[in-house]
Amino acid sequence: LKFLSVVLLACGSFNPITNMHLRLFELAKDHLHETGKYKVVKGIISPVGDGYKKKGLIGAKHRVAMAKLATESSDWVEVDDWESNQKEWQETVKHNPSSMPLRSYNKKKRKIKS
């Protein structure tokens, strides 16, 4: 039986990250596994950078730090700070795939067993 490997990516302000943000990863993973077609191999949280200019937005370095603390016990969800380090806000989906947060998964995929 062959499964399609899936990486879940959540982009947003995470201002701050909450238990429900983490729960969404679990719910999505469970749903995809229940189909019998997919295997979720990684979850990535990508907080938006300070250039987003949302009123009341906590600084990116603090939101990234909170997200890292929230995911430190996870063996499959991690935080990628690429988007948060950009000087100007950019829509993630418009990036070249080689510059998206998935680069961290691509570097580590050899360590993940199907």
Cα 55 to Cα 7, 15, 51: the distances in Å are 30, 11, 11
Q: How far apart are the first and last CA of the chain?
A: 11
pLDDT at 30: 98
Residues 6+ apart with CB under 8 A from 79: 44, 45, 46, 47, 64, 67, 68, 71
pLDDT at 94: 64
H or E segment and range at residue 78: strand 77-79
51-86 b/e with 16+ CB inside 10 Å = b? ebeeeebbebeebbebbeebbeeeebbbbbbbbbeb
Q: What is the chain's mean pLDDT, rounded?
A: 86
Q: Which amino acid is at 59?
A: G
| Confidence (pTM) | 0.81
pLDDT for residue 47 is more than 70: yes
pLDDT at 114: 39
pLDDT for residue 73 is more than 80: yes
pLDDT at 93: 63
**How far is it, in rounded angstroms, from Cα 19 to Cα 110?**
29
Q: What is the pLDDT of residues 3-45, one digit of tens each?
A: 999 999 999 999 999 999 999 999 999 999 999 999 999 999 9
Count of CB atoms within 10 A of residue 10's CB?
Answer: 19
pLDDT for residue 112 is more than 50: no
Instruction: Say which CATH superfamily domain 4-112 falls into.
Output: HUPs (3.40.50.620)
pLDDT at 102: 52
pLDDT for residue 89 is more than 90: no
pLDDT at 90: 79
